């Protein structure tokens, strides 16, 4: 799921790695995410790899600078997207490669943690996308292994990544200006004891739903649309370092 747009159906594995360091209130981070499709794909199904694929569909490489100012967090970063699918069989090929820069504002100390993000495609589409989100802890277990439940939601707004009448040959991510999707989900996270000699391990599981309001977010394969989407997710995170901790 990217900006509310589904890119693959079925099981998808997303291994990732990141490194970073902090100097007082400034932190610098960089990493990469791989998107592996694990299910066999039939002709016309939603897929990055294309029909028959069970392999790598996308690689994302990113960098970010973050600054803490009291309870406020300011982020600025860049993401490069590489697509490895076969466009001849319905996948996303290298012609879809692009780069986005972004800035984000979030409040980290309040009970409800709101955030606002602005994304700008600087290569293939050349336009802006806005995302507002919140993270709400609802239940916690204060004894080891620490665990808590949370509710998350987001709203996407396309302001410049749709069709451009002045440049009809330019590609577009969305069909119209305006709200693209509204998402809501809940999950639980357990922070295990520190792994000897490694760091801190975290296990998370959750369910996510999304109301699709743009033709691009409704698209679910050739000739198929879906107004409402729901999916399950799970993940394991290991943070390495003397002051290892996870930021959700």
Note the pLDDT tens digit of each residue in 168-203. Answer: 777 888 999 999 999 999 999 988 766 666 678 889
What pLDDT was estimated at residue 195? 60
Mean pLDDT of 31-52: 84
Rounded Cα distance, 20 and 28, in Å: 5
- Cα–Cα dist 183/229, whole Å: 9
Question: For residue 247, is pLDDT > 70?
Answer: no
Q: Are 64 and 29 in contact (CB under 8 A)?
A: yes
- Bridge partner list, 150: 137, 187
Greatest distance between any 2 Cα atoms in the chain: 59
CATH topology of domain 12-240: Porin (2.40.160)
The rounded Cα 163 to chain-centroid distance in angstroms is 23
Question: What does the domain layout of the chain look like in residue ranges?
Answer: 12-240
- Residue listed under structure tokens 């700008």: 120
High-pLDDT (> 70) share of the chain, %: 94
8 A C-beta contact, residue 177 and residue 183: no
Cis peptide bond prior to 145, omega within 30° of 0: yes
Mean pLDDT score of the chain, rounded to an integer? 87
E strands present in 84-240: 98-107, 113-121, 127-141, 146-158, 178-195, 199-212, 228-240
Evaluate if residue 116 carries a pLDDT over 70. Answer: yes
């Amino acid at each position: 799921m990217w900006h509310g747009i589904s890119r693959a159906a079925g099981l998808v594995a997303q291994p990732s790695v990141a490194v970073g360091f902090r100097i007082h209130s400034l932190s610098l981070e960089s990493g990469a995410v791989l998107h592996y499709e694990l299910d066999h794909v039939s002709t016309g199904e939603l897929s990055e790899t294309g029909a028959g694929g069970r392999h790598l569909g996308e690689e994302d490489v990113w960098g970010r600078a973050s600054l803490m100012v009291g309870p406020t967090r300011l982020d600025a970063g860049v993401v490069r997207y590489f697509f490895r699918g076969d466009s001849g069989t319905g996948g996303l090929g290298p012609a879809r490669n692009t780069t986005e820069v972004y800035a984000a504002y979030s409040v980290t100390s309040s009970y409800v943690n709101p955030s606002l993000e602005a994304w700008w495609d600087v290569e293939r589409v050349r336009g802006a996308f806005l995302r507002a989100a919140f993270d709400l802890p609802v239940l916690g277990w204060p004894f080891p292994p620490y665990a808590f439940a949370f509710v998350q939601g987001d709203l996407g707004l396309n302001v410049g990544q749709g069709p451009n009448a002045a440049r009809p040959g330019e590609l577009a991510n969305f069909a119209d200006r305006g709200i693209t999707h509204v998402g809501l989900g809940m999950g639980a996270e357990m922070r295990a004891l520190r792994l000897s000699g490694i760091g801190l391990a975290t296990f998370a599981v959750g369910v996510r739903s999304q109301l699709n309001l743009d033709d691009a977010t409704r698209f679910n394969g050739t000739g198929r649309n879906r107004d409402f989407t729901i999916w399950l997710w799970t993940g394991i995170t290991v943070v390495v370092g003397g002051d290892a901790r996870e930021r959700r």
